[in-house]
Structure 1
Amino acid sequence: MTPGMKTVLEYLTSIPAWYLATSVDNQPHVRPFSFAAEQDGKIWFCTATTKDVWEELLQNQLIEATAWWPGHGWLILRGRAGLEDRANAEMRQAGYDHLTGLNEHYDGPNDSTLVFFSVEEPKAWICNHDEWVPVEL
């Protein structure tokens, strides 16, 4: 994992929630997310095929995430959602544990409604109120 990827993942996992934006038919949609993991040198997120966000990603894969980490500034992460779910068993278990910890209900880590998507072509910046600093990914 690159140092930049490690920084981005640290931002996304050090706070209770961050926000993921999608856009369909020129209408932005923003919602809280809280699971992020690394696999194969990429950042991965988890959701369910039953959620609106998945339907939106099927229509338009462009995403943007933002996270405010008090004392560290905020992160902006842009990219394209890679919709091919290649989550390994460890990440599937972590995603399942995380989402069930939020009181969501699934039939285990291999439930067919759980889906993992990667961040392809990522670009990231960290801002501390005074400047935007690009993160090399």
Structure 2
Amino acid sequence: MTANETIIEYLTSVPAWYLATCEGDQPHVRPFSFAAEQDGRIWFCTATTKDVYRELQANPKFEVTAWRPGSGWIILRGRADLDDRANADVRRAGFEHMAALGEVHDGPNDPELTFFSVAEPQAWICDIDGSWEPLAF
């Protein structure tokens, strides 16, 4: 299994995971729950109207973490590439996922719905015993 496949499987196996940004010296953490792979990159979905998007525009560095019982937790670090090149399949899946959460968009091509990918990824699977395993990209 590739690093991307491991990360996608891990993130999509839990109801929510957490994405952290920073605005100045203040960290901001919020739940996310959509992840997909396209063209060898991991893609996330948000809206251009949200603070997270504005924060990633100002400082594209972010971290994601998720805990899965019995499997430790994952940390993914990278830089948000905000150039939305999500294909039709990823856009449809992201739109349907967001709609199921109660978000209202005019469809997969709504200009407020945006997808960003992970550039310069680093990731680790960590355990409570202090051990960690880096994932190779």
TM range (shorter): over 0.9
Residue 129 of structure 1: CA displacement?
1.4
Q: How far apart, CA to CA, are the structure 2 residues paired with 1:71 and 1:95?
A: 28
* Residue of structure 1 equivalent to 2:65: 66
Residue 26 of structure 1: CA displacement?
1.2
Q: How far apart, CA to CA, are the structure 1 residues paired with 2:20 and 2:127?
A: 21
1:6 lines up with 2:5 in the alignment: yes
Residue deviations 1:28-81 (CA, integer Å, cap 9, x gap): 000000000000000000000011100101100000000001111100000000
* Residue of structure 2 equivalent to 1:136: 136
Paired residue type of 2:18: Y
Q: How far apart, CA to CA, are the structure 2 residues paired with 1:26 and 1:4?
A: 31
Instruction: Show structure 1 runs of 4+ deviating over 6 A.
Output: none
Unaligned runs of 5+ in 2: none
Paired residue type of 1:50: T
Residue 24 of structure 1: CA displacement?
1.2
TM-score normalised by length of structure 2: 0.97
Q: How far apart, CA to CA, are the structure 1 residues paired with 2:33 and 2:56?
A: 17
TM-score normalised by length of structure 1: 0.97
Q: How does 1:104-123 map to 2 (within 5 A)?
A: 104-123=103-122
State, as a whole percentage, how many aligned pairs show the same letter. Answer: 64
What SS class does the counterpart of residue 110 from structure 2 fall into? coil
Residue 6 of structure 1: CA displacement?
0.9
RMSD (Å), alpha carbons: 0.8
* Residue of structure 1 equivalent to 2:90: 91
Q: How far apart, CA to CA, are the structure 2 residues paired with 1:97 and 1:60?
A: 28
* Residue of structure 1 equivalent to 2:33: 34
Residue deviations 1:98-121 (CA, integer Å, cap 9, x gap): 000001000001000000000100
Q: How many residues are aligned here?
A: 136
Unaligned runs of 5+ in 1: none
Paired residue type of 1:58: Q
Q: How far apart, CA to CA, are the structure 2 residues paired with 1:37 and 1:121?
A: 17
Residue 12 of structure 1: CA displacement?
0.7
Paired residue type of 1:135: L
Paired residue type of 1:59: A
